[in-house]
Amino acid sequence: MGHPPFDKRELAVLFAALLLAALSAYYHRDLRRIPEWRLLLAGIVFLIIGSTSTVVEHFALYDVFNTIEHLSYLAQSLMLALWALRARRVRA
Amino acid sequence: MIIAALEVLGLLASLGTIALVARAPSASPGASSSLVRRALLGLVGLLAFGHLANVLEAFGLEWADTIADQFSALVPLVWGLFLLESGRVYLSARLQASDEQVRFFLEAVPAAVAWIDAGQNVLGFSRAWAEALPGSRSGVALKTLLPAPLPRLAHAVEETLRDGSERELAPVEESAEDDAGRKRYFRWSIRPWVHPDRPAPGALLLFEEVTFEHEAEAERLAAADGLARIQRMAHVGQMAAGAAHDFNNFLQVIYSATVELEGDARYEDAFKNVQSALGAAGELTRGLLRFGQEPTTSSAKVDLVTLLREFERPLGYALGRRHRLEVKLPRLEQVQIEGRPSRIQQALLNLAINARDAMPNGGAIQVALAVESGQATLSVHDSGVGIPQSLRERLFTPFFTTKGVQGSGLGLNVVKTVVEEHRGQITVSSDPHRGTTFSLCLPLFEARSQASGTGAVSSQSRTIAPQ
């Protein structure tokens, strides 16, 4: 099975993820008001790692970056699951 | 297969999250917010769809991944929406919780403290504040609560809220008249205070009314002043007694000298006037010598008509040539009161001298006697400049004088004492254009006898005509 071709939409997702990270950094004071905010921040980081790996895998070490990509998306889902679980018990 | 396993795990995690969020709202305000839940469900749904597509791709269904790629760009956008709404909801919830905490602490403070927001509204206040300023409630404007307009406080609040400066950190006292016209005193201090979760600056205002303390202090000072006056009067009494003793000696010399004139027809009138004046002066010195002792209870019937006739000439001498004395007597043979003639003369002399001083350019001074409502009224009227309203309350205060070093400030006080000794009343009416009238209202002898219930003159009483 060959590697899939590079898709420009993957680059758009990467830019959107980076924009989200930049905005999160700019509004970090507000972000920190959210309980368990570190889980959400970790989810964003994993989103960026996954998006980056998705682009990079087309240029080098496809298998490695592909695995990192899927691991990152798994971690992102786990972070959100953990946040939803913990935030239920948190009062503002 | 590893990729497929990872994606299956991711799919399970996402489905679990969906199940968790879709259940009943949680205690968390963020997780229970409708928009937050929808955004989270959308985000996790997109992730679940991506995981499912990758699982299907692993099993050879390439089209699934192609469809998933179409929605992958939405993931960061939904992330952003989710974070934005979560931040807003949690900020709002935290603000509310913080406000409740602030109000709780304010209520526990024993002083009258209030938290003022940027719009000069009271947001929270202590129990003492609510008791001091009835009608306080959250959100009401500060100025509507104040019992009186306090411009300095209003300015300080405005300045503090505008730039957060601490201009009036130290307690400030400010007085104002309330709607009833009563002067009230307030002590306040203000300092800027920024609520940890509110962007606009606020202020903490400490406010208390100190009118009672001021009134108590004024009473204390008045009592101290009265005591000081009494002490000064005691000293004056001692000095007067000493002076009277020596003065009496001189009177005796004058009396001895004038006796030589007795029987000489040329000096008959002068002799009588001098004798009369000496008699009054002698009584005056004896009175001064008795100063400080219990007032004597011995008194006698005094005919004011006779007294005025006899005293008219000495009084005229006292006024001098630039002033004309006019005596008006009733059409009665006698107007009798119970008292001491020398004291009445002393009062008249003081009033007449004051009237003279009120008319530096000369003029007529009227001394009148009238009877009405069981009282004899002796009045002294001048056509001088009048007495300002602001000074009338202090006229009878010892040592109060408008004559500067020329006056002792004791004359009207003596008049008042004489009137009180005779159980009478003194009134003052003054007009800048008509002059001033002092009226001594003294109970008639008959009226006093009836009022006292004796119904008759005591055996010690006697009719006295001035010497």
Give the pLDDT of residue B228.
76
Searching chain B, which residue's CA lies closest to the CA of residue A78?
B13
- Is A90–B28 a contact, with Cβ atoms under 8 angstroms apart? yes
Chain A contact probe: residue of B86, B94, B98, B99 with most A CBs at under 10 A: B86
> Considering the domain boundaries, does residue A5 fall inside one?
no
Q: Which residues of A touch B48 (CB under 8 A)?
A: 77
Percentage of chain B exceeding pLDDT 90 = 7
Q: What is the mean pLDDT of residues B353-368?
A: 87
Span of B62-66, B217-221, B289-293 with lowest mean pLDDT: B289-293
Span of B28-37, B282-291, B326-335, B426-435 with lowest mean pLDDT: B28-37
CA distance B34 to chain A (A): 14
B140 burial type by CB count under 10 A (0-12 exposed, 13-18 middle, 19+ buried)? middle
B250 or B436, greater pLDDT: B436
Task: Report d(CA A3, CA B417) in Å as an integer.
Answer: 124
Give me the residue label for tokens 């009036």. B168
Angle between helices B268-289 and B211-259 (to 10 degrees): 140
Give the pLDDT of residue B24.
54
What residues does B428 pair with on adjacent strands?
B438
Task: Report d(CA A55, CA A60) in Å as an integer.
Answer: 10
Span of A81-85, B31-35, B60-64, B418-422 with lowest mean pLDDT: B31-35
> Considering the domain boundaries, does residue A52 fall inside one?
yes
CA distance B156 to chain A (A): 32
**Do B15 and B48 touch, CB atoms closer than 8 A?**
yes
> Domain residues for A79?
10-87
From its phi and psi, is residue B18 left (phi > 0), alpha (psi between -120 and 50) or beta?
Answer: alpha
Is residue B433 classed as helix, strand or coil in its secondary structure? coil
pLDDT confidence bin for B442, thresholds 50/70/90:
very high
ipTM, two decimals? 0.86
Query: Does B261 reach chain A within 8 Å, measured CB to CB?
Result: no
**Do B124 and B115 touch, CB atoms closer than 8 A?**
yes
Q: Which residues of A touch B44 (CB under 8 A)?
A: 77, 80-81, 84
Of B17, B27, B69, the CB nearest to A80: B17
Size of interface A-B (CB pairs under 8 A): 127
> Considering the domain boundaries, does residue A53 fall inside one?
yes
pLDDT confidence bin for B368, thresholds 50/70/90:
very high
In chain B, residues 142-201 whose CB comes closer than 8 Å to chain A: none
Q: Quick one: tokens of B130? A: 């609510």
Query: Does A64 reach chain B within 8 Å, measured CB to CB?
Result: no
B26 or B11, greater pLDDT: B11
Q: Which residues of B touch A89 (CB under 8 A)?
A: 26-28
In 3D, which of B412, B297, B405 has the Cα closest to residue B353?
A: B412
Mean of all residue pLDDT scores within chain B = 79
pLDDT confidence bin for B465, thresholds 50/70/90:
very low
Give the pLDDT of residue B405.
54
Query: Does B121 reach chain A within 8 Å, measured CB to CB?
Result: no
Searching chain B, which residue's CA lies closest to the CA of residue A5?
B66
CA A59-A60-A61 angle, to 5 degrees, is 145
- Is B90–A35 a contact, with Cβ atoms under 8 angstroms apart? yes
Give the pLDDT of residue B195.
72
Chain B contact probe: residue of A33, A53, A85 with most B CBs at under 10 A: A33
B403 or A56, greater pLDDT: A56
**Do A81 and A27 touch, CB atoms closer than 8 A?**
no
pLDDT tens digits, A44-74: 999 999 999 989 988 888 889 988 988 999 9
> Considering the domain boundaries, does residue A1 fall inside one?
no
Q: What is the mean pLDDT of residues B160-172?
A: 73
pLDDT tens digits, B294-340: 454 467 889 999 999 888 887 787 777 788 889 999 888 888 999 88
In 3D, which of B149, B104, B166, B161 has the Cα closest to residue B113?
A: B104
Give the pLDDT of residue B169.
64
CA distance B124 to chain A (A): 21
> Considering the domain boundaries, does residue A4 fall inside one?
no
Give the pLDDT of residue A42.
93
Q: Which residues of A touch B16 (CB under 8 A)?
A: 81
Give the pLDDT of residue B25.
58
CA distance A80 to chain B (A): 7
pLDDT tens digits, B138-159: 888 888 888 888 888 888 888 8
Task: Report d(CA A41, CA A48) in Å as an integer.
Answer: 11
pLDDT confidence bin for B165, thresholds 50/70/90:
low
Give the pLDDT of residue B73.
78
- Is B30–A92 a contact, with Cβ atoms under 8 angstroms apart? yes
**In chain A, alpha helices (H):** 8-26, 28-31, 37-56, 62-87
Task: Report d(CA B80, CA B65) in Å as an integer.
Answer: 24
- Is A47–B79 a contact, with Cβ atoms under 8 angstroms apart? yes
Q: Quick one: tokens of B432? A: 């800048």
CA B117-B121-B123 angle, to 5 degrees, is 70
Give the pLDDT of residue A45.
93
> Considering the domain boundaries, does residue A54 fall inside one?
yes
Give the pLDDT of residue B453.
41
Q: Quick one: tokens of B173? A: 């006292």
Is residue B456 classed as helix, strand or coil in its secondary structure? coil
> Considering the domain boundaries, does residue A79 fall inside one?
yes
Of B26, B43, B76, the CB nearest to A88: B26
- Is A76–B30 a contact, with Cβ atoms under 8 angstroms apart? no
**Do B305 and B369 touch, CB atoms closer than 8 A?**
yes
**Do B314 and B278 touch, CB atoms closer than 8 A?**
no
- Is B20–A84 a contact, with Cβ atoms under 8 angstroms apart? yes
**Domains held by chain A: number:** 1
Query: Does A50 reach chain B within 8 Å, measured CB to CB?
Result: no
Searching chain A, which residue's CA lies closest to the CA of residue B2?
A67
Give the pLDDT of residue B392.
76
CA A35-A36-A40 angle, to 5 degrees, is 115
From its phi and psi, is residue B139 left (phi > 0), alpha (psi between -120 and 50) or beta?
Answer: left
First to last CA, chain B: 144
B54 or B110, greater pLDDT: B54
pTM for the full predicted model:
0.44
Of B10, B48, B76, the CB nearest to A13: B76
Of A31, A35, A66, the CB nearest to B30: A35
> Considering the domain boundaries, does residue A25 fall inside one?
yes
Is residue A71 classed as helix, strand or coil in its secondary structure? helix
Give the pLDDT of residue B303.
92
The strand order across the sheet containing B336-339 reads B336-339, B300-303, B463-464
pLDDT tens digits, A1-57: 567 777 788 888 889 889 988 988 888 887 887 888 899 999 999 999 999 998 998
In chain B, residues 5-64 whose CB comes closer than 8 Å to chain A: 6-7, 9-10, 13-14, 16-17, 20-21, 26-31, 40, 43-44, 47-48, 50-51, 54
pLDDT tens digits, B255-303: 777 777 777 888 888 888 888 888 888 777 777 766 545 454 467 889 9
Give the pLDDT of residue B455.
35
Query: Does B71 reach chain A within 8 Å, measured CB to CB?
Result: no
